[in-house]
Amino acid sequence: MPLAAKKAARYAVAFFLIISLNFAIPRAMPGDPLTNLLGEDVDVTGGTIVELREKMGLDEPVHLQYLYYWWSLLNLDLGYSYHLHSPVSSAILSRMKWTLLLSVPSLILGAVIGTFFGALAGWKRREAAGQLETALVLTVFCTPPYFLSLLALYVFSFYLGLFPLKGFYSSGSWLDVAHHFLLPVLVMTLFSASRNYMIMRGSVIQEKASLYAAYARAKGLYGNQILFRHIFKNALLPIITLLAIDFGFILSGALFIEIVFSMNGMGNLIYDALLSRDYPVLQGSFLIITVMVIAANLLADLLYSRVDPRVRWQ
């Protein structure tokens, strides 16, 4: 069986299992969607409850709900959110664009900055300046993202008044949107860069002890020539894996930052859907995340074969 066919089969099985879990996990949570929708203090008749459950599709056996769920997916129908009073696809699209605008620049900047400076720190790890830099980055790396967000919000928004306290925009102009996004993007970039920095630093330290690095020195190369012409590509492999994970969970990874900065993006959408037991929204959101995770891992496989000739040979 060709390698490409094996990988396609593996991703197809993974997709099927994850979609099935997307259906099962929300229904395994305690609580009832209808109770969360109506509230505990609302007095309704038994006939009304039966009618509502039928309208929401909750009166059918679980196995029939599962079959209807797959039929809806095959027809590109993510369902209707009775909590948000809108189609799930519309709710996800309206929130997704803001989360992508927050997360994509942060992850790209964090990858570039963290990878470059992490490589230099691993190559020159015994210098005093490099050790101080690593200590500062390690402090950021060990700090929870929500605490970084709270600290930045207090200092730069509340105390200094340089940035807005919450939301995506006030007037809707590009400058206003950029003003609202700058601080959360900087916080997310800082945290992403710290992770990439530490991983790249450790990878470079490991690779520069290899025999091919010694051979490069024997050829007459020195300093950053050895780093960027020989070591960098091999040390980059763990960063590709981390980026694949980050881009796979890009829609839910900004949850804490969105909560702290009161941004109604995908993270808040998933969080509210969990609290309200909004099955269609949870299923639709997890479906989008699943597709992105599988696509990101597939892209990582392709990048591995381009960066490392050993992967192509295998």
Structural domains of the chain ordered from first start: 3-88 (no CATH), 92-313 (1.10.3720.10)
Residue type for position 218: A
| pTM of the predicted model as reported, rounded to 2 decimal places | 0.75
Average pLDDT, the chain: 79
Phi and psi (nearest 5°) for 261?
-90, 10
Q: Read off the pLDDT of residues 22-77 as tens digits, 9 standing for 90 and up.
A: 888 777 777 666 665 555 555 555 566 666 666 666 667 778 888 888 888 888 88
Cα(100)–Cα(206) distance, integer angstroms: 34
Per-residue DSSP letter, 308: -
Q: Of 47, 65, 110, 43, which is closest to residue 279 (Cα–Cα)?
A: 65
The pLDDT of residue 314 is 54
Cα(214)–Cα(36) distance, integer angstroms: 65
User: Which of 12-21's residues contact partners 24+ apart within 8 Å by CB, and which partners?
Assistant: 14/294, 15/290, 15/294, 18/286, 18/290, 18/293, 19/70, 19/73, 19/287, 19/290, 20/66
Q: Read off the pLDDT of residues 276-302 as tens digits, 9 standing for 90 and up.
A: 778 788 888 888 888 888 888 778 777
Confidence of residue 113 (pLDDT cuts 50, 70, 90): very high
